[in-house]
Chain A
């Protein structure tokens, strides 16, 4: 017979017998009914069913016994109505004891006994004691468990609670029942063949609630009872906690221990646990079965406490809203003490069972961090202690394999406080936090943590500044791996394009976007280095470069731009402040400091040039330009001159013949061109902003640049460089509110005077010379279309200078140019009829020319400027 048909058969029998019982009850044949009742209860004697199936039978029977109980209660009431002292139920209770089999007998006894108790008779407690004594008669685990469960279910609302005595008896009853049930439950594990261990284990898991419900009832009873002098907390500590935990320890069964500790933690209030914490941790947890995962237990306990804290917090903030005084009264349990309890538990555990897996210790420490952060958010000493323990675990846990498997746990341990704090400066300072960090060997782990730390630093709203070398050390010691690690190795994932990558270093190196992101983050951290004194700030920046950033020269190309830009900016600020102060008191000291900082920064740029000359000279060039501009603004002419010289050197050595990007050049576009052409324009832009150069030095530089421009490889680049350079001889914006050194009359020089505005450097003849030169270059162009375009470009340039009042670029010159363009255009009339690309291009130039003429006409009509130009 299979199990399921066994159930069906049993259920059929129960249905049939119960039908008969109900009929008999209806007819008032009580004894007959009890017989049928005993019959269907017989079905519960089986040992052939799984717990689940047995439960099905039990539920069917339970409902039927309800009917019986109701009937008994009703007939007892009617009998009592006749005579007050009827012994109807007592007699019945005696009677059913003659039932042949123990299972039906006990079930019936319990139904009658509890019904009797419900009538509030005087013998309530004796019956209760009697029933629990009798239950000892069933020692089969499943049958016993359900029987006792039945007992406690029937008793649910009937426990005597009137006096302290009653209460003690009730508690005694519940504890006894709990102990007995637990014993049965544990014994179930050892039933049957040893090959069925796993099955047993699963079955037991299904039954755990039967055992746990006793504790639930117990906690309700403890909570419900009230009497003078009764304090639930004390009662728990002195009576319940010892009794229950003793059983938990003694049963030596991992499943029971795990489950029951969990129930214990969950069902009793937190205040109870606070008081018994020491004992729970060191007397109970440590005594438990060695197989038990103690980290899980600690986690449960801590979770519970954290939840409690959150609840209390929201509660106290609510009450504080209502009345300030009440909120203040709320006393938190001394958290220091229970952190200590956990710590001593951890120490003992570590001492007693050092062979436990590292994961277990880390998990416990993780819980402790959570606890400390919740209850004492600012107690860094606690964290330090935890990390000290962790460092010990890591040392023991030296085999590589282990570190890999526990990597995520280590990460969690180190990251938890990073997420928690708004400022992590204090955390990073903890000696053992760093001790633990530095013991980690896994680069993956270190990288991830370093990145996490730097992201936290730069994303926090407060943006805490690093204003001393100690501050810098505290942070950068966590970043060294990010700084030092290069990403030049080619990997399969890069090659397959799984990882998004970027080619750098003249397309020789392939780095991942993640790597670039890391470098970006390091740069952002550099921004946190700050000091109210700009010279101090510079010192810090030089410090970080020397001690950390130049660890990998391959990477400085990513971090130095930010570093140098910050240095340049710091010098700018420091210099401005110094020049302000100088007006009050002369100070050579600060002047000297400014000068030396310029030199030191230049050295840093040079270092970058040294290592990245091949691929990134353009970058170096720009950094020099910035520094040179600032030097001029701070009236450091010698320095600025030298720095511009550096720019010229980089230009000559590395940019002049750099052919990268040259494939993209469209000669007709006035913007863009070869890299060297771009560099000339960048330089020109900086030079035209110089204001504190002597006339001689300024002219040296601009003449040199114009010459460089005229020597570029391509005609269009030459031509445009020269006409742009014309602007260097014609300032339109004073930029400073004092006379510029550049326009001071020099010895042996004819004073430059153009109109009455002496603050602007203007040399009309040189401007014209430049324009003529560029026209000559354009004229030598082989491509007639390009020639035409350049002519129109130059015409527009001439209009600008004419507009700005340059008398040398007069209307006659411009008219000549216009005529030249017109006659050139007639050469293309033939081509314009076609509809090819060439015609399109010529049309474009023609339209540009027409727009230019229309513009001149507009200007002449509206305000009479650009006079004399014939359009």
Chain B
């Protein structure tokens, strides 16, 4: 069963539109509803901001649409727009929601109510509280995917590549071998056992910078440049990398497909996660 995790649009606050390649990819059958024949449910992590058309686009993708509140959503307006789309519920825009897909309980939240947000231990605590196997959270504006304590944590990044006012990332000065290590922790065979070994101490690393893993050669070159002239500040990127995630679940196995648009081309990466029985 396919579950789409997507969020942090910021239309029109920070960007004009969803990348057209994403639109085509996501809704091959538009304007028919549902516009994607394969996706069973859509989980939206909020920050639509003020775009009713984007909301409709997401709503029409699959038979089942779930959305949680993002930091910059207008609760009042968004609730009514959802009602206009037929979502009648006393609270159509909660802070978090739990859905199921095959043997998985999936929780998702924009996560801005966690202080400090994006902290793996806090996310783990929240996943424990609501008792989920997979926790999807938003607001990072880059893809993250890692396992911790046998649970799977996913941040699908920003679908539009909107910028964020968080600190720009510090280029990590790891050696290449270290990166290779991280890569193997994400490989399917290790995913099961990595839970316990990964979390203590070096938290920053355990976030296992997914984006970096996927970044192409030129970023490594940048890194080298950085080493040559450590005083030089990296220029800020105007936008982040547009991305979203698809979860393909079969029983207790979840294959995560990470879609990113780099230099106008769509790249797909795959990460596997096997749930502890």
Contacts and interface: CB of A to CB of B under 8 A. Distances in A.
Interface of A: 458-459, 463, 500, 502-504, 507, 513, 516-517, 519-521, 523-524, 526-527, 558, 561-562, 565-566, 568-569, 572-573, 576-577, 579-580, 583, 619, 622, 626, 629-630, 633, 660-661, 664, 669-672, 678, 681-682, 684-685, 688-689, 691, 724-725, 727-728, 732-737, 793, 796-797, 799-800, 803-804, 847-848, 851-852, 855, 858-859, 862-863, 865
Interface stretch (B28-36, B90-98, B184-192, B244-252): B90-98
A661 B233 contact: no
B276 to A, nearest CB: 10
Nearest to A733: B204
A422 to B, nearest CB: 15
Given A521-B12, A523-B13, 4 more contacts: A561-B13, A732-B119, A735-B167, A862-B196
20 contacts: A516-B52, A517-B52, A520-B50, A520-B52, A521-B12, A524-B11, A527-B15, A561-B72, A580-B232, A622-B71, A671-B95, A671-B114, A681-B112, A732-B116, A732-B203, A735-B167, A737-B170, A804-B121, A859-B149, A863-B197
Nearest to A859: B196
Contacts of B13: 523, 561-562, 565
A502 B77 contact: yes
Given A504-B77, A513-B81, A682-B112, A664 B90 contact: yes
A50 to B, nearest CB: 51
A855 B126 CA distance: 13
A681 B91 CA distance: 21
B131 interface: yes
A513 B165 contact: no
Interface in B193-217: 196-197, 200, 203-204
Contact of B236 (A521, A572, A796): A572
A851 B95 contact: no
Contacts of B236: 572-573, 576
Contact of B16 (A463, A504, A735): A463
Contact of A503 (B71, B80, B112, B149): B80
A626 B84 contact: no
A862 B77 contact: no
B129 interface: yes
A863 B200 contact: yes
B149 to A, nearest CB: 6
Contacts of A519: 50
Given A577-B235, A583-B231, A682 B71 contact: yes
Contact of B128 (A565, A732, A848): A848
A565 B165 CA distance: 10
Given A500-B84, A572-B165, A847-B131, A619 B74 contact: yes
A735 B12 contact: no
Interface string B108-136: 01001111110101100110110100000
Interface in B38-57: 49-53
B113 A504 contact: no
Interface string B1-16: 0000000000111111
B16 A688 contact: no
A786 B178 CA distance: 46
Contacts of B71: 622, 682
A502 B196 contact: no
Contacts of B52: 513, 516-517, 520
Contact of A629 (B90, B95, B117, B165): B165
Given A458-B16, A685-B116, A848-B128, A630 B77 contact: no
B166 interface: yes
A858 B198 CA distance: 13
Main secondary structure of the interface of B (DSSP, over half): loop
A691 B72 CA distance: 24
A587 B121 CA distance: 43
B163 interface: yes
B75 interface: yes
Contacts of A664: 90-91
A799 to B, nearest CB: 8
A572 B170 CA distance: 16
B121 A503 contact: no
A664 B92 CA distance: 11
Contact of B126 (A517, A521, A670): A670
B228 interface: no
A433 to B, nearest CB: 25
A855 B115 contact: no
B263 interface: no
A685 B77 contact: no
Nearest to A579: B233
Most A CB contacts (10 A, CB to CB) among B51, B84, B115, B231 go to B115
Given A580-B233, A671-B109, A851-B128, A565 B14 contact: yes
B165 A672 contact: no
Contacts of A672: 94-95, 113
Nearest to A804: B121
Contacts of B51: 520
A513 B16 contact: no
Interface in B49-81: 49-53, 71-72, 74-77, 80-81
Nearest to A664: B91
A520 B12 contact: yes
A491 B236 CA distance: 48
Contacts of A682: 71, 112
B196 A661 contact: no
A583 B11 CA distance: 36
Contacts of A800: 121-122, 125
Contact of B131 (A517, A671, A851, A859): A851
Contacts of A507: 76
Given A502-B84, A576-B233, A579-B233, A670 B129 contact: yes
A502 B83 CA distance: 10
A733 B75 CA distance: 31
Nearest to A725: B115
A453 B79 CA distance: 30
A428 B93 CA distance: 42
A41 B143 CA distance: 92
Contacts of B14: 562, 565-566, 569
Contact of B12 (A523, A691, A733): A523
| A-B CB proximity, top 10 nearest | A862-B196, A523-B12, A671-B95, A724-B115, A502-B80, A684-B115, A672-B95, A735-B167, A580-B233, A524-B12
B261 to A, nearest CB: 15
A527 B16 contact: yes
A691 B116 CA distance: 14
Nearest to B237: A573
A561 B13 CA distance: 7
Most A CB contacts (10 A, CB to CB) among B16, B77, B200 go to B16
A678 B84 CA distance: 26
A504 B126 contact: no
Given A569-B163, A577-B235, A689 B95 contact: no
Contacts of A728: 115
Given A503-B80, A862-B196, A568 B165 contact: yes
A744 B96 CA distance: 39
A458 B116 CA distance: 37
Given A502-B84, A685-B117, A862-B197, A517 B12 contact: no
